[in-house]
Structure 1
Amino acid sequence: MEEFFYQATIYLGAAVIAVPLAARLGLGSVLGYLAAGIAIGPIFGLTGTETEDLRHFAEFGVVMMLFLIGLELEPRALWAMRDKLIGLGGMQVTASTLVLMAAAMAAGEPWHVSLAVGLALSLSSTAIVLQTLSEKGLMRTGGGRSAFSVLLTQDIAVIPILAFLPLLGSYAIPQFTTDGSISRDSAGHGGGHGSLSLVDGLPGWAVALVTLAAIASIILAGIYLTRPLFRFIHASNLREMYTALALMIVVGISFLMTLVGLSPALGAFLAGVVLANSEFRHELESDLNPFKGLLLGLFFITVGAGINYRQFLADPGDLIGLALLVIFAKGVVLFAVGRAFGLRRRRLWLFTLSLAQAGEFGFVLLAFSTQLNVIPAALSEKLLLVIALSMLITPLLFIAYDLLSKRMGDALQEYEPDEIDEEGPVIIAGIGRFGQIVNRLVQASGFKTVVLDHDMEAVQLMRRFGVKSFLGDPTRPELLKAAGIAKAKVFVVALDDPEGVVKMVAYVRRSYPELHIIARAKDRNHVYELYKAGADDIVREMFDSSVRAGRYVLENVGLSEYEAAQAAQTFYAHDRTNLRDLAQHWIPGVPASQNPAYIDRARELEKAIESAIFEMAERKRKKSAEAAE
């Protein structure tokens, strides 16, 4: 027990000191964790053999990360990414493998060893890249989405690579120990579940069936079992049970995936996608986020602490040179592939620099290859250091991207959220052009508002004009609670991110069913999504201004101001009613042009509007004629 407390104190103490320091220096938390690991490992020697065991435990943070990412992706959005998953990701893995294989062959390695090396080094670090993209707010950018697509493809590619490596073992030359027996290096982790495996000893067709059954069970359980489970937990009124259930879901899925020989991270991602439309999604996110952050931090620390400093000090120039060579080779491939898929400028550089390192799956593939005698043990030890060094260099690549981004004049900057010290009956999320007008009208009418926005420049601009607003991400539940949403009467979603507006409306409607929600919509399809999400009133960005412009047209082609105003008012009322009618015929993900029922109903309603305006005009003419007589 004393040893456990000692180790926990060392690891947590190093993180508490190094990570805030790195964050204050603008280096990011990942580099802080890596530096903490190097300090307690190679520099001060405070760690021991527990580092490797802790690393495998901490890799569960990657599993949680992919589960949470899956929660942000609906199946429809994942299907829309298929071109990037297959094309962009597939081309990156293939091209990087071939380039690195050629480099290994040029160094004198046999082709089967070179191929195994290329496969191991072609995969990037899911943990470091996704964590850094999230911290810097780059996940939703074009380059960030492309990087995520490649990382997801790489995670999927681990499965066929693990199945392919034993074939290379037939070309390997047996390694003999000092007593003349064949070496059976067991350093790998590929067979850690032999006694519990559901597929060991089964023929290929049976393995495929068991694997498909496991995936199908995850999908069906996510659709049919999670809601009853959460309702049952909700009835207990014990908040910690939500956390226990969230952990049970991720741990259980990971265990099932290992039983059938698949990646736990892939299974967790699949489960997250299935649960993306669940009303309990936000509860899952809030429960798992702290665990994900701590486990990922522990993983980064173990990477730094696990560096074999004696081997590194024996030839540091060679190892650093090899790490830089891997980064350069992969960077060239990524740059070419990114340009081929239409990425330019900032997006291209983010895509290239973020994925140029080797990743944590390389540790697994190298260990497995060594176990199969595909890669010699000495070369494997060297490559493990190369992978670790490339991961250490990754935060510096993101710093290079930040510098390039500033030179291109479109840099992103992070700010600490404000402490909200006011409450009011009206909360407005977003203080852009739309939110400003709403806020001015409400405040001019004598009602207090609480304005939230994540754009520091917009908040500062409003403060110059005497409009108090608070800096922070209004999509975060804890910020809404701090703003007093539980006591508010009206919530206005004025953000310029259509997807973010839908998600926020859906969350607020579930959490605060009595609150009146007014949402900003981009177009008709967005209106339908917001109706489905639970918005009470929806305002299209261009609709009111377009109706007013149409009214001016009518005034200048012969109608009086009163007649034009009546026509505009009739059109407005009918269109508002018609949208609710058409929302019943709208099918998510299907273009209106391919929906016959929607088209037919839209035509009927358009004729109804024309008839209503015509009848209104006729009544006006008759009244005018009668008055003239």
Structure 2
Amino acid sequence: MATEGSDFLIEAATYLGAAAIAVPLFNRAKLGSIVGYLAAGIVIGPWALDLLHPEEGVFHIAELGVVLFLFLVGLELSLSRLWALRRDIFGLGAAQMLVTGVLIASVLLAADMMTWQASVIAGLAFAFSSTAFALQFMKDRGELTTPYGRKAFPVLLFQDLAVVPLLAILPFIAGSAGEAAGWSDAFKGIGVVVALILISRFVLDHALRYVADSGSREAFAATALFVVAGVAAAVSWAGLSMALGAFLAGVFLAESSYRHQIQTDIEPFRGLLLGLFFISIGMRLDLSAIASAWVLVVGGALGLVVVKTILLAGLARSLGTGAGDAIKVGAVLSQGGEFAFVVFSLGVEAALFSSGNATIMSAIVTCSMVLTPFAVMVAARLANRGEAGQRDNLEAPSATTGHVVVAGFGRAGQIVSQVLVPAGLDVTAIDRNGRHIRNAQRFGYKVYYGDASRLDVLITAGLDDARALILTMDDPSAVNHAVEAVRARLPNLPIMVLAHDRLHEIHLQTFEPTFIVRETLESSLTLAGETLRELNVAAPLIDDYIAQFRGRDRERLLAQIDQGPEAGKDILHQRFTPPAP
């Protein structure tokens, strides 16, 4: 027993140590944490140092990282927002699967590498991208909420939905005896999804409230993990993708009042297990198979990345996506997906693929994951060149002194400038939206083109000699990046920030800007004050109520920073204290 415990500790230390060494190195090289995890897995795996072996039990535990990741992604959405994505899900997503699958199947069939049945299944399997890889890669780069990130996500979601039909048709195409099971699994999956909807609607919130009322954060965290694991187990039993089930569970809880606490409690587990997942993928990379057929593996991986990038970029462009974003969508989804490993394994059992073919195809998928960061780098450069060619000679910022830099010239940036300029201040305004810049020119304002989330752009605009920096961009991640970078370089510069919402304001506090105001705060207070005035409330009393609200709002914000998003709820419903006579 002691030996088993020691072995477990050694394995755990090896996993953690490999990640601790590899990930920082690859992050410094701007290749991303995922490639670092893959490299760590290759090095400690059986084909290099042989410190660990890719046991199935470890791989299944690691898959929980993907499950938790998709659950957290679901928490960021709601059913209404998901419905709004339906055009991209069933338009771009379906087109990508169909066109990519048919093209790759045709290539395999034309090369006489396998039967038409095997070619169809292999083509569809290669059409899948890695949900875990692509989403984590964009998250690492702060690009999940960018225009191209919002286009890539629906494609990944459709691919998860396509898991069930592909598993259903595999026995039919293989001609095995399990045909009826495919359709029964489909009906079983529909029943499980309906049951989950009903449970989340009428049971789950009450259960979470019961646990939360106990006051135990550990019990609440355990309950949140149980919900994710239970949903994943249920949908897996029904033949659905565990990742899809976890995503649906997150969507169902997106409207829950406990959403933010769940997100806070699950995040640490998600990071560790997702890292373990990618390490285990790296350990499964058979270097001997690659060495014996390296031309086929490397060429196949390169071909897969190039073909999927071109196809996806073309499809996205035909559906109205900008050229630069279309290229980046294609590149970030150009790799093969982890679901392909499952298909290849089932294909061997159904006698569709030989064991050797399955090994080569799995190696191609893994190598394509390694190539993806490089493909994204190339795509980003191509996109930047394309944008540069479309700027119609928009002027870049140049350094001046004694001025105020306004980053973002939308509605808020325009109003800020309309106050500062008549007050006698020089304003250098930056925006990356050409339409904003041209609109500003119509009214006599000079706005420069630039990505204000980049420190080098701000420095070029004269940040080092500026009297203040005002950030009004509509992308919270870009604002966060800019505040963090500027504060590290210029600790004493006044940084005034427009926060997207309350949670964004809480997050911004960690970067120590000089002043933060939420987008809708002042307009909402003005609206409330005017409403009270119309209802004949005395002006001094209105001012007192607004002052009391500001104090309570500040108190609640500080409590949320220290204790989490649910803190200070009791303050919301307290009556204002009447002023002393």
Q: Same fold per TM (> 0.5)?
A: yes
1:370 pairs, out of 348, 352, 366, with 348
Q: Which runs of 5+ in 1 are unaligned?
A: 173-190, 192-199, 411-429, 441-452, 484-491, 509-516, 522-529, 541-568, 578-629
The answer as to 2:158 corresponding to 1:153 is yes
The offset of 1:298, in angstroms, is 1.1
The offset of 1:252, in angstroms, is 0.5
Pairing 1:507-518 to 2, within 5 Å after superposition: none
Identical pairs, percent: 32
Residue of structure 2 in register with 1:257 after alignment: 235
Residue of structure 2 in register with 1:135 after alignment: 140
Cα RMSD for the two superposed structures: 4.0
Change (3 A) 1:341 1:280: same
Residue of structure 2 in register with 1:22 after alignment: 26
Once the two structures are superposed, residues 433-485 of structure 1 have per-residue CA deviations (whole angstroms, 9 ceiling, x without a partner) of 38968999xxxxxxxxxxxx977567997774444899996999xx99xx9xx
The answer as to 2:119 corresponding to 1:102 is no
Q: Are the equivalent residues in 2 in contact too, given 1:158–1:263 (CA < 8 A)?
A: yes
Distance in 1 between residues matched to 2:376 and 2:221, nearest whole Å: 33
Q: Are the equivalent residues in 1 in contact too, given 2:186–2:239 (CA < 8 A)?
A: no
Residue of structure 1 in register with 2:17 after alignment: 13
The answer as to 2:148 corresponding to 1:168 is no
The answer as to 2:261 corresponding to 1:283 is yes
Residue of structure 1 in register with 2:125 after alignment: 120
Change (3 A) 1:68 1:314: same
The amino acid of 2:258's aligned partner reads F
The answer as to 2:58 corresponding to 1:54 is yes
1:211 pairs, out of 189, 193, 199, with 189
Decide which structure has the larger Cα Rg and report it: 1
Pairing 1:577-588 to 2, within 5 Å after superposition: none
Q: Are the equivalent residues in 1 in contact too, given 2:200–2:252 (CA < 8 A)?
A: yes
The offset of 1:41, in angstroms, is 2.0
The offset of 1:65, in angstroms, is 1.4
Q: 2:210 is paired with a residue of what secondary structure?
A: helix
Q: Are the equivalent residues in 2 in contact too, given 1:22–1:28 (CA < 8 A)?
A: yes
Q: 2:144 is paired with a residue of what secondary structure?
A: coil
Change (3 A) 1:90 1:408: same
Residue of structure 2 in register with 1:80 after alignment: 84
The offset of 1:55, in angstroms, is 2.4
Change (3 A) 1:55 1:404: farther
Distance in 2 between residues matched to 1:121 and 1:454, nearest whole Å: 36
The offset of 1:15, in angstroms, is 0.6
Residue of structure 2 in register with 1:91 after alignment: 95
Q: Are the equivalent residues in 1 in contact too, given 2:71–2:247 (CA < 8 A)?
A: yes
Distance in 2 between residues matched to 1:367 and 1:124, nearest whole Å: 17
The offset of 1:56, in angstroms, is 2.7
Distance in 2 between residues matched to 1:341 and 1:91, nearest whole Å: 10
Distance in 1 between residues matched to 2:530 and 2:272, nearest whole Å: 58
Residue of structure 1 in register with 2:291 after alignment: 313
Distance in 2 between residues matched to 1:376 and 1:140, nearest whole Å: 42
Distance in 2 between residues matched to 1:24 and 1:435, nearest whole Å: 39
The amino acid of 2:122's aligned partner reads V
Pairing 1:216-615 to 2, within 5 Å after superposition: 216-408=194-386, 433=413, 464-467=465-468, 494-495=498-499, 500-501=500-501, 519-521=518-520, 537=525
The offset of 1:151, in angstroms, is 0.5
The offset of 1:140, in angstroms, is 1.5
Distance in 1 between residues matched to 2:330 and 2:281, nearest whole Å: 23
Q: 1:277 is paired with a residue of what secondary structure?
A: coil
Distance in 1 between residues matched to 2:88 and 2:280, nearest whole Å: 32
The offset of 1:112, in angstroms, is 0.8
Distance in 2 between residues matched to 1:19 and 1:455, nearest whole Å: 23
The offset of 1:9, in angstroms, is 1.5
The amino acid of 1:501's aligned partner reads D
Q: Are the equivalent residues in 2 in contact too, given 1:99–1:329 (CA < 8 A)?
A: no
User: Which shifted more, 265-274 or 392-401?
Assistant: 392-401
Q: Which runs of 5+ in 2 are unaligned?
A: 389-407, 421-451, 488-495, 508-515, 538-581
The offset of 1:123, in angstroms, is 0.4
